[in-house]
Every structure is written in C-alpha cells, then in structure tokens.
Amino acid sequence: MTNRVRKAIFPVAGLGTRLLPATKSIPKEMITVVDRPLIQYAVDEAREAGIEQLIFITGRGKSSLVDYFDSAFELEEKMRGKGKSLEVLDSSRAGYGELISVRQQEPLGLGHAVWCARDIIGDEPFAVILPDDLMVGKPGALKQMVDVWENVGGNLIAGEEVAADMTGSYGIVTPGKQDGAVTEVRGLIEKPAPDVAPSRLAVIGRYILQPEVMAALGTVGRGAGGEIQLTDALAAMIGKQPFNALNVDAQRHDCGDRAGFVIANIVLALDRPDVGGKVRDFIAGLSPRP
Ligand code: UTP
C-alpha cells in the first residue's frame, strides 16, 4: 500500500441539467472558461498536486472529454505546415497511461460514479475532483490538500463556510476540534435544511480518500434524491479513520450553475495578460443599472 496520492477520479457522468440547453449535446465540463474547457483546469490542478493517473468516470455523450486529451494528428500536422507553435495544445494532451476512462452506465449519483473506479483504485488512497468547482488558488486546492494530508492522513475533504440559507445544497459537517484551517469531521449530513444544519461548513468538490471508502460505497444504498451519495459512505468512515476538513485557501467558482460560469469567465479573463485589459476596459465603460 502506498501513502502517496497518485490517482484522481474525475466524476464527469452527470447530466448537467442546470446548464441546459447547452448540455443537451455538450458535456458541461467541455464548456469553456476564457479559452479552455472546465475539465482542463481540473486536470492542471491534479497534475500540479502530483497526480499521475487521471480516471474519468464518463457516461453517454461524454466521449469528447476523452478525445480532448488525445493528440490531434491532423490539426497538429496542419499547424506545423503553417509554422504555428503547438505549445497552446501542450496541456491538453495526456501522456501514455495517464488517462483512463470508465463508463458509468446509469447516472445513479456521485457515490456510484466514484465506486465505478474501485478496481482501478485498488488499495491506494485517491483524490476525487469535481470539475464543476473551479478552484483558483496558489498553490492549487488539491496541492494544498495533499500537503496537509501528508500530516493528518485518513480522509480529508475540502470545506468552505457557506451562507446559512445554502446548507440545503451541500453536504454539511458536524465540526469537532479545530487546528488552523483543519477541522475534525465528527458527522456529515447531505443537504440539511438551514434549521437542522449542524454548521455552515460545507463539503466542496475536492477529496482525498482511503480505499475503504470504496467498500462503504458498495453497501450504503440509495440516499437523498434516490442517488448513491458519496456523503453517506464518508459518514460511515467517521470514527474508523482520521477524518478532517481543510478550508482551502482558494476562490471557488461553482460552474455547475449559470451565474457561476459567467462569473468564472469574468474573473479568470481579468487575470489574463492577453485579454484582461480589454475586458477591464469594457466593464469600466458599462453604465450603472438605473
Ligand atoms: P451534480 O450534482 O452537479 O449533478 O453532480 P449534475 O448531473 O452534474 O448536474 P445538474 O445538477 O443536473 O445540473 C456533481 C458531480 O458528480 C458527477 C457530475 O458529473 C459532477 O461532476 N456525477 C453526478 C456523476 O458523475 N454521475 C452521477 O450519476 C451524478
């Protein structure tokens, strides 16, 4: 058994109904923020954290996600012929053996999607990255988690304080001891109404998990919304293994949601030397709403 996190699961088989009609034929992870699809940001973050194997859990209509990380022979030949640099394509290519895709045949929930990778994970700790949560931080969110996990071990989830009226959209932590940005997880509940939520500490889309979580996923059955919930399997690990939440030092954009996507585009564009100036000038020229 290794104590390095080498493998990351990217569950990308969801239907993305909040982004219809675009997601009728484009996976939400292929929608662009500035000039790169959402999945590229997640993969870059994983690589920065030392991940060597990217495991995509895909479903119907999601093959463009795997194609995106392939080499594009004709395109590259044509670009070479025209003397154009191929550097722009570098990060969109997976190395040999770096990318594995597994099919989730029915969208039975995030927990089920993760469970689909059980044979590839084997007995190693692993990361889970939800690409919809675009995290902007230096170092990246997963790298921050790996650094902390090397000390605390066990299961480590990324947490964020959310507004009181938002608890119903997240898994919420019952907090224990706190040590700086690390909070012990004493309990976990999926999407509690604000009046019964044990805190405002929400689970966001980054996890480092022990392989035993896979066995728990195999037994939890369907939970909230009739789906197999990752939160339920994680709750079953409490008391058996160290379990903590890390408040990562990064800005999160929820790109599973229309407004989040638009905001991510604006924020990331403003930060880009090639387009930031134009976008800033345009925003500065907008008249205030009457
Ligand atoms: P979401 O809850 O955002 O669901 O899934 P969704 O289907 O993607 O989007 P909406 O709510 O219909 O708009 C959280 C993550 O879990 C993955 C999604 O792809 C996303 O990364 N997921 C969800 C699966 O891979 N399989 C599932 O069965 C459900």
pLDDT tens string 191-229? 899 999 999 999 999 999 999 999 999 988 787 778 888
Cα 133 to middle of ligand 1, angstroms: 11
pTM of the model: 0.94
Domain residue spans in the chain?
A: 7-284
Residue 42's pLDDT is 97
* 9 sits in which H/E element: strand 7-11
Contact 206, 135 (CB under 8 A): yes
Which residue's CA is the closest to the ligand 1 atom numbered 7?
14
Residue 1 pLDDT greater than 60, yes or no? no
Does the Cβ of 108 fall within 6 Å of ligand 1? yes
Contact 13, 108 (CB under 8 A): no
> Residues of the chain with pLDDT > 70: what percent?
99
Q: How many CA atoms lie within 13 A of 158 on its CB side?
A: 24
Does the Cβ of 11 fall within 6 Å of ligand 1? yes
- The length of the chain is 290
Phi/psi for 286 (5° steps) reads -70, 135
CA angle 8, 221, 23 (to 5 degrees): 55
Confidence label for 159 from pLDDT (cuts 50, 70 and 90): very high
Q: Which residues pair with 174 in a beta bridge?
A: 187
Instruction: Give me the CATH topology for the region 7-284.
Output: Spore Coat Polysaccharide Biosynthesis Protein SpsA; Chain A (3.90.550)
Q: What is the mean pLDDT of the chain?
A: 93
Assigned token pair, 31 = 């929608």
Residue 48's pLDDT is 97
185 CA to centre of own chain:
20
Mutate to test the pocket of ligand 1, among 29, 55, 105, 110 (most ligand atoms within 8 A of CB): 110
Residue 2 pLDDT greater than 70, yes or no? no
Phi/psi for 215 (5° steps) reads -65, -40
Cis peptide leading into residue 290 (ω within 30°): no
Residue 3's pLDDT is 81
Residue 277 pLDDT greater than 90, yes or no? yes
Contact 238, 185 (CB under 8 A): yes
Cα 58 to middle of ligand 1, angstroms: 11
Gyration radius from the chain CA atoms: 20
Residues 6 or more apart in contact with residue 108 via CB below 8 angstroms = 222, 227, 228
Cα 219 to middle of ligand 1, angstroms: 21
Instruction: Give the residue-averaged pLDDT of 55-60.
Output: 94
Mutate to test the pocket of ligand 1, among 132, 133, 203, 206 (most ligand atoms within 8 A of CB): 132
Instruction: Give the residue-averaged pLDDT of 27-45.
Output: 96
Looking from the CA of residue 23, the nearest atom of ligand 1 is 13
Cα 110 to middle of ligand 1, angstroms: 6
Confidence label for 289 from pLDDT (cuts 50, 70 and 90): confident
Tens-place pLDDT, residues 100-143: 999 999 889 999 999 999 999 999 999 999 999 999 999 999 99
Confidence label for 56 from pLDDT (cuts 50, 70 and 90): very high
Assigned token pair, 14 = 């969801």
Looking from the CA of residue 10, the nearest atom of ligand 1 is 21
Assigned token pair, 171 = 């898994």
Does the Cβ of 110 fall within 6 Å of ligand 1? yes
Q: 3-class SS at 120?
A: helix
